[in-house]
Amino acid sequence: MLIINADDLGMTPGSNSAIFDGYDNGAITHTSIMANCDYFDNAMSDIAKRKELGLGVHLNLTYANALIPNTLYCNKNGIFNLGYLELLKNRDKQFLAAIEEELDAQITRVINALPPQRSLTHLDSHRHIHMIPHIYKIVVKLAKKYNIKRVRLINENTLHSFMLTKRFNFLLNGGIIKYLLLRSFSAIDSRYANLYHGVKFYSILYTGVIGKDIIKKLQNADETYEVMVHPSYPELDKNVHFYDEAEKAYRVSNDRKKELEAVLSIKK
């Protein structure tokens, strides 16, 4: 079984259009929506038309406006102002209670917008903040509260990923550093709760550059894999208000279109 999950639903018109196109006409099986982003309502109206599309929440503490503004993690305009390092270092009880409330609100907003008879399939997060062990515990708690069966675990195998692609991209794009950090978190998180059900994750080392060759190889694997993709139509996002320049550069990159082409080239 192959789960092809498109992250960042609700962020931009380009991502919304590409994700639904990739589901309707390609290999996408699941998507993760950002409950606090500007195009959430547009995305949810189209979710109702696609009953078999697996939907999860893309939990977010680093981009756009919080649903529950709090000076512990927002600026005066209610926009998240923390980076990964600040989230990693801060274990203060008051802070953790505040972010639990925010993450709970994000999940609740999606649940309340779901069509009848639909339920959430999974939780993951923007920039993988849920993998930080003290945040992972909160996410598992919320998953159990709302009976959400799967939480993404970054348990990618370096050797397997390299043997599959024979590419060294990760040495140039910082993928190896991100991989080592998340893999160390995975070792801790997997001892806390088994909410990934044996699903093997693939694409941290090659984030944003998944091609059809990789998808085809994983389709024939004996085990269940989750492949993360970020497809978009960059031309639809030229006039979008982005909350930081790094996110803008990523969203308007031609790699977003290439990932869309990859998922469209293969049928479920």
Helices (H) and strands (E) in the chain, counts: 10, 7
pLDDT at 157: 81
Instruction: Look at residue 231 and give its three-state secondary structure.
Output: coil
Give first-to-last CA distance, the chain, whole Å.
10
Q: What is the C-alpha to C-alpha distance for residues 81 and 267, in angstroms, rounded to an integer?
A: 40
Q: Choose among 3, 13, 15: nearest CA to 208.
A: 15
Query: Cβ(154)–Cβ(183) under 8 Å?
Result: yes
Q: Enumerate residue ranges in the chain where pLDDT < 50.
A: 170-172
Query: Cβ(35)–Cβ(85) under 8 Å?
Result: no
pLDDT at 202: 86
Q: What kind of fold does domain 2-264 have according to CATH?
A: TIM Barrel (3.20.20)
Q: Choose among 71, 32, 35, 68: nearest CA to 53.
A: 32
pLDDT at 171: 45
Neighbours of 163 (CB within 10 A): 10
Q: At what angle do helices 254-264 and 212-219 cross, to 10 degrees?
A: 40
Which DSSP state fits 138? H
pLDDT at 193: 77
Could you tell me the two tokens for 249? 């550069």
Q: Choose among 99, 129, 104: nearest CA to 7.
A: 129
Please report, for residues 41, 57, 147, 150, 180, the alpha-carbon distance to residue 80 in angstroms, rounded to integers and kept in the order given: 20, 18, 27, 26, 26
- Domain boundaries, given as residue ranges, for the chain: 2-264
pLDDT at 15: 99
Where do runs of H (alpha helix) occur along the chain? 13-25, 40-47, 84-89, 93-113, 133-145, 158-165, 175-192, 212-219, 245-251, 254-264
